[in-house]
């Protein structure tokens, strides 16, 4: 499904001249055998295209949440955004219930803290 989505995306954007200069940054994703590229051939250089490649590669080469996370850390950037994005997507794809529950708790907590902070700043508590 991912490969088909990428192919349709490239086909669509290649028809519009305004995107032509941007498509070259994403050419690796358009390779028919993208999932089989060795991790050593991938580099994370801060560009959105390379980050997207690492995330998609990590997910395509996994059958579980744990395996997806292992793949995300293969890129050698434990402090990068790649493991964070892979974790979020893999939790949904693989229905990792514990991660989904924890994320719902964190989102709820963030909302409560945000509202309380704003009320404190404005002096409105009722």
Higher-confidence residue: 60 or 108? 60
Specify whether the CB–CB gap between 100 and 92 falls below 8 A. yes
State the average pLDDT over residues 77-95.
81
- pTM strictly above 0.75: no
Share of the chain above pLDDT 70, in %: 83
Q: If pLDDT is split at 50, 70 and 90, which confidence band does 61 have?
A: very high
Q: Could you give the CA distance from residue 110 to residue 126 in angstroms, rounded to a whole number? A: 20
Q: Could you give the CA distance from residue 44 to residue 2 in angstroms, rounded to a whole number? A: 21
For residue 21, the model assigns a pLDDT of 83
State the average pLDDT over residues 46-73.
90
Which pLDDT tens digit goes with each residue over 16-42?
A: 888 888 888 888 888 888 889 998 888
For residue 31, the model assigns a pLDDT of 83
70, pLDDT greater than 80: yes
CB proximity list for 2: less than 8 A, separation 6 or greater: 56, 59, 60
Q: Could you give the CA distance from residue 116 to residue 106 in angstroms, rounded to a whole number? A: 15
For residue 57, the model assigns a pLDDT of 93
């Amino acid at each position: 499904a991912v490969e088909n989505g990428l192919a349709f995306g490239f086909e669509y954007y290649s028809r519009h001249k305004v995107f032509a200069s941007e498509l070259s940054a994403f050419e690796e994703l358009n390779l028919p055998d993208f999932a089989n590229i060795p991790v050593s051939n991938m580099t994370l250089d801060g560009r959105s295209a390379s980050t997207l490649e690492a995330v998609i590669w990590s997910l395509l080469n996994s059958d579980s949440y744990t395996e997806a996370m292992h793949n995300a850390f293969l890129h050698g950037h434990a402090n990068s955004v790649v493991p964070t994005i892979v974790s979020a997507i893999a939790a949904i794809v693989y229905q990792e219930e514990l991660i989904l529950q924890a994320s719902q708790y964190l989102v709820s907590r963030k909302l409560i803290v945000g509202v309380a902070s704003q009320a404190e700043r404005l002096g409105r508590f009722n």
